[in-house]
Protein backbone atom coordinates (compact mmCIF):
# COMPACT_ATOMS: atom_id res chain seq x y z
CA UNK A 1 0.00 0.00 0.00
CA UNK A 2 1.60 3.29 -1.18
CA UNK A 3 0.60 5.67 1.60
CA UNK A 4 2.00 9.20 1.68
CA UNK A 5 1.29 11.99 4.15
CA UNK A 6 1.08 15.52 2.81
CA UNK A 7 2.15 18.27 5.22
CA UNK A 8 1.08 21.89 4.79
CA UNK A 9 2.44 24.49 7.20
CA UNK A 10 0.24 27.55 6.72
CA UNK A 11 0.00 30.98 8.32
CA UNK A 12 -2.58 30.01 10.93
CA UNK A 13 -2.50 26.21 11.11
CA UNK A 14 -0.70 22.99 10.26
CA UNK A 15 -2.56 20.50 8.07
CA UNK A 16 -1.91 16.90 7.12
CA UNK A 17 -3.60 14.54 4.66
CA UNK A 18 -3.00 10.79 4.45
CA UNK A 19 -3.19 9.74 0.80
CA UNK A 20 -3.40 6.15 -0.42
CA UNK A 21 -2.20 5.87 -4.01
CA UNK A 22 -2.64 2.11 -4.35
CA UNK A 23 -4.18 0.76 -7.57
CA UNK A 24 -3.20 3.92 -9.44
CA UNK A 25 -5.87 6.09 -7.81
CA UNK A 26 -5.17 8.63 -5.07
CA UNK A 27 -7.64 8.50 -2.18
CA UNK A 28 -7.55 10.72 0.92
CA UNK A 29 -7.86 8.40 3.91
CA UNK A 30 -7.48 10.92 6.71
CA UNK A 31 -7.21 14.67 7.25
CA UNK A 32 -6.32 16.68 10.34
CA UNK A 33 -5.26 20.20 11.25
CA UNK A 34 -4.17 22.19 14.30
CA UNK A 35 -3.68 25.95 14.85
CA UNK A 36 -0.19 27.35 15.33
CA UNK A 37 0.79 30.39 17.45
CA UNK A 38 0.31 33.73 15.65
CA UNK A 39 3.51 34.96 14.05
CA UNK A 40 5.19 31.55 13.94
CA UNK A 41 4.76 31.47 10.13
CA UNK A 42 4.57 34.63 8.03
CA UNK A 43 4.15 34.68 4.23
CA UNK A 44 5.09 31.00 4.06
CA UNK A 45 8.32 31.49 6.02
CA UNK A 46 8.80 29.65 9.32
CA UNK A 47 9.98 32.20 11.90
CA UNK A 48 9.57 30.09 15.05
CA UNK A 49 10.82 26.58 14.29
CA UNK A 50 10.29 25.30 17.85
CA UNK A 51 6.64 26.38 18.00
CA UNK A 52 5.89 24.90 14.58
CA UNK A 53 7.69 21.63 15.40
CA UNK A 54 5.70 21.29 18.64
CA UNK A 55 2.45 21.83 16.75
CA UNK A 56 3.38 19.30 14.05
CA UNK A 57 4.32 16.70 16.68
CA UNK A 58 1.07 17.32 18.59
CA UNK A 59 -0.98 16.99 15.40
CA UNK A 60 0.66 13.68 14.51
CA UNK A 61 0.11 12.34 18.02
CA UNK A 62 -3.52 13.44 18.24
CA UNK A 63 -4.51 12.19 14.78
CA UNK A 64 -2.27 9.08 14.93
CA UNK A 65 -0.71 9.83 11.54
CA UNK A 66 2.03 7.76 9.86
CA UNK A 67 5.50 9.20 10.48
CA UNK A 68 7.07 7.83 7.30
CA UNK A 69 6.78 9.03 3.68
CA UNK A 70 5.94 12.62 4.58
CA UNK A 71 5.88 15.16 1.72
CA UNK A 72 6.00 18.81 2.78
CA UNK A 73 4.59 21.56 0.58
CA UNK A 74 6.30 24.92 0.22
CA UNK A 75 4.95 28.30 -0.87
CA UNK A 76 6.64 31.56 0.04
CA UNK A 77 8.14 34.77 -1.31
CA UNK A 78 11.52 33.06 -1.10
CA UNK A 79 10.55 30.57 -3.79
CA UNK A 80 10.82 31.36 -7.50
CA UNK A 81 9.56 29.49 -10.56
CA UNK A 82 10.56 30.63 -14.05
CA UNK A 83 10.29 29.16 -17.54
CA UNK A 84 13.74 29.18 -19.12
CA UNK A 85 14.98 28.14 -22.57
CA UNK A 86 18.28 26.22 -22.54
CA UNK A 87 20.30 24.20 -25.07
CA UNK A 88 19.21 20.58 -25.40
CA UNK A 89 21.26 18.23 -23.21
CA UNK A 90 20.87 15.11 -21.13
CA UNK A 91 19.18 15.22 -17.73
CA UNK A 92 22.37 14.63 -15.73
CA UNK A 93 24.25 17.20 -17.79
CA UNK A 94 21.49 19.75 -17.31
CA UNK A 95 21.49 19.20 -13.54
CA UNK A 96 25.17 20.11 -13.47
CA UNK A 97 24.74 23.10 -15.78
CA UNK A 98 21.52 24.37 -14.17
CA UNK A 99 23.12 27.08 -11.96
CA UNK A 100 24.84 28.61 -15.01
CA UNK A 101 21.79 28.31 -17.25
CA UNK A 102 19.30 29.96 -14.87
CA UNK A 103 21.40 32.48 -12.92
CA UNK A 104 20.25 35.39 -15.12
CA UNK A 105 16.57 34.37 -14.96
CA UNK A 106 15.98 34.11 -11.20
CA UNK A 107 16.15 36.92 -8.59
CA UNK A 108 18.07 34.70 -6.15
CA UNK A 109 21.83 34.19 -6.07
CA UNK A 110 22.36 30.58 -7.19
CA UNK A 111 24.85 29.98 -4.36
CA UNK A 112 22.08 30.81 -1.85
CA UNK A 113 19.44 28.65 -3.53
CA UNK A 114 18.47 25.03 -4.01
CA UNK A 115 17.63 24.41 -7.66
CA UNK A 116 15.52 21.91 -9.56
CA UNK A 117 13.74 21.80 -12.90
CA UNK A 118 10.90 20.20 -14.84
CA UNK A 119 11.37 19.61 -18.61
CA UNK A 120 8.59 21.08 -20.76
CA UNK A 121 9.21 20.78 -24.51
CA UNK A 122 11.96 20.73 -27.12
CA UNK A 123 12.24 23.08 -30.08
CA UNK A 124 14.75 24.54 -32.54
CA UNK A 125 15.80 28.14 -33.10
CA UNK A 126 15.42 29.72 -36.59
CA UNK A 127 19.13 28.93 -37.02
CA UNK A 128 18.46 25.25 -36.28
CA UNK A 129 19.98 25.15 -32.79
CA UNK A 130 18.25 22.45 -30.67
CA UNK A 131 16.75 23.98 -27.52
CA UNK A 132 14.42 22.95 -24.71
CA UNK A 133 12.09 24.80 -22.36
CA UNK A 134 12.28 23.96 -18.68
CA UNK A 135 10.49 25.15 -15.57
CA UNK A 136 13.29 26.19 -13.23
CA UNK A 137 12.61 26.17 -9.48
CA UNK A 138 14.78 28.06 -7.00
CA UNK A 139 14.20 28.28 -3.26
CA UNK A 140 16.35 29.88 -0.57
CA UNK A 141 18.31 27.23 1.32
CA UNK A 142 17.05 28.56 4.67
CA UNK A 143 13.46 27.75 3.67
CA UNK A 144 14.36 24.11 3.03
CA UNK A 145 16.54 23.93 6.13
CA UNK A 146 13.69 25.21 8.32
CA UNK A 147 11.28 22.61 6.96
CA UNK A 148 13.83 19.85 7.49
CA UNK A 149 14.52 20.99 11.07
CA UNK A 150 10.80 21.10 11.88
CA UNK A 151 10.12 17.59 10.54
CA UNK A 152 13.20 16.17 12.25
CA UNK A 153 12.21 17.75 15.58
CA UNK A 154 8.75 16.21 15.18
CA UNK A 155 10.43 12.83 14.45
CA UNK A 156 8.97 12.56 10.95
CA UNK A 157 10.66 10.92 7.96
CA UNK A 158 10.62 13.52 5.17
CA UNK A 159 10.33 11.84 1.78
CA UNK A 160 10.30 14.97 -0.39
CA UNK A 161 9.74 18.70 -0.53
CA UNK A 162 7.20 19.73 -3.16
CA UNK A 163 5.82 23.02 -4.36
CA UNK A 164 2.28 23.61 -3.15
CA UNK A 165 1.59 24.97 -6.64
CA UNK A 166 2.36 21.59 -8.20
CA UNK A 167 0.13 19.85 -5.66
CA UNK A 168 -2.69 22.26 -6.48
CA UNK A 169 -2.41 21.44 -10.19
CA UNK A 170 -2.58 17.71 -9.48
CA UNK A 171 -5.50 18.16 -7.09
CA UNK A 172 -7.54 20.36 -9.44
CA UNK A 173 -6.83 18.74 -12.81
CA UNK A 174 -6.03 15.16 -11.77
CA UNK A 175 -3.16 12.90 -12.80
CA UNK A 176 -4.49 12.07 -16.27
CA UNK A 177 -4.15 14.83 -18.84
CA UNK A 178 -3.73 15.55 -22.53
CA UNK A 179 -0.94 17.70 -23.96
CA UNK A 180 -3.62 19.38 -26.07
CA UNK A 181 -5.48 20.62 -23.00
CA UNK A 182 -6.06 24.41 -22.99
CA UNK A 183 -4.27 26.72 -20.61
CA UNK A 184 -6.03 26.79 -17.24
CA UNK A 185 -5.56 28.99 -14.18
CA UNK A 186 -5.65 28.39 -10.43
CA UNK A 187 -5.75 31.17 -7.83
CA UNK A 188 -5.16 29.99 -4.26
CA UNK A 189 -5.68 32.68 -1.58
CA UNK A 190 -3.91 31.68 1.63
CA UNK A 191 -3.57 33.46 4.93
CA UNK A 192 -0.71 35.71 3.82
CA UNK A 193 0.32 34.42 0.36
CA UNK A 194 -1.71 34.11 -2.83
CA UNK A 195 -0.54 31.65 -5.48
CA UNK A 196 -1.29 32.19 -9.17
CA UNK A 197 -0.69 29.15 -11.37
CA UNK A 198 -1.17 28.75 -15.12
CA UNK A 199 -1.16 25.09 -16.21
CA UNK A 200 -1.33 23.23 -19.50
CA UNK A 201 -1.51 19.50 -20.02
CA UNK A 202 -1.41 18.89 -16.29
CA UNK A 203 1.89 20.77 -15.87
CA UNK A 204 2.42 24.18 -14.29
CA UNK A 205 3.81 26.65 -16.82
CA UNK A 206 3.66 29.88 -14.79
CA UNK A 207 3.81 30.28 -10.99
CA UNK A 208 3.82 33.50 -9.00
CA UNK A 209 3.63 34.12 -5.25
CA UNK A 210 1.86 37.35 -4.21
CA UNK A 211 2.44 38.72 -0.68
CA UNK A 212 -1.28 39.22 -0.07
CA UNK A 213 -3.83 36.89 1.48
CA UNK A 214 -6.85 36.52 3.70
CA UNK A 215 -5.21 38.34 6.62
CA UNK A 216 -4.95 41.54 4.58
CA UNK A 217 -8.62 41.28 3.59
CA UNK A 218 -9.65 40.73 7.21
CA UNK A 219 -7.58 43.67 8.43
CA UNK A 220 -9.06 45.91 5.75
CA UNK A 221 -12.59 44.95 6.85
CA UNK A 222 -11.70 45.59 10.49
CA UNK A 223 -10.32 49.04 9.67
Instruction: Write down the CATH number for the domain with range 79-140.
Output: 3.30.1490.300
The pLDDT tens digits for 113-137 are: 999 999 999 999 899 899 999 999 9
Q: Is the dihedral of CA 200, 204, 210, 215 positive or negative?
A: positive
Backbone phi and psi for residue 191, each to the nearest 5 degrees, phi listed first? -65, -40
Residues contacting 23, CB < 8 A, separation 6+ = none
So what's the pLDDT on residue 115?
Answer: 94
| Residue-level pLDDT, tens digit, the chain, 223 residues | 578 999 999 888 999 999 998 777 788 999 999 999 999 998 888 999 999 999 999 999 999 999 999 999 988 888 999 999 999 999 999 999 999 999 999 998 999 999 999 999 999 989 989 999 999 999 999 999 999 999 999 999 999 999 999 999 988 887 776 667 788 899 999 888 899 999 988 889 999 998 888 888 999 999 9
Taking residue 93's Cβ as centre, other Cβ atoms within 10 Å add up to: 11
Do residues 15 and 35 make contact, with C-beta atoms less than 8 angstroms apart? no
The pLDDT tens digits for 4-43 are: 999 999 888 999 999 998 777 788 999 999 999 999 998 8
| Euclidean distance between CA atoms 135 and 170, whole angstroms | 16
Global pTM reads 0.85
Question: For the chain, which residues make up each domain, given as ranges?
Answer: 3-76+141-178, 79-140
So what's the pLDDT on residue 1?
Answer: 53
Question: Which of 108-116's residues contact partners 24+ apart within 8 Å by CB, and which partners?
Answer: 108/78, 108/80, 108/138, 108/140, 110/138, 112/140, 112/141, 113/138, 113/139, 113/140, 113/141, 114/138, 114/139, 114/140, 114/141, 114/144
Q: For domain 3-76+141-178, which CATH number applies: 3.40.50.261, 3.40.50.1010, 3.40.50.300, 3.30.420.40?
A: 3.30.420.40
Amino acid sequence: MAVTVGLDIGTSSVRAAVVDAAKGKAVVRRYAEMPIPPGAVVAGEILDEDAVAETVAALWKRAKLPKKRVVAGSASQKLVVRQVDVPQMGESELKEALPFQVQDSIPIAVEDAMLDFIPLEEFSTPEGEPMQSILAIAVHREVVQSLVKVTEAAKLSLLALDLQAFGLVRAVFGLEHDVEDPYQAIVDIGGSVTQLIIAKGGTARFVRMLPTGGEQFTNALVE
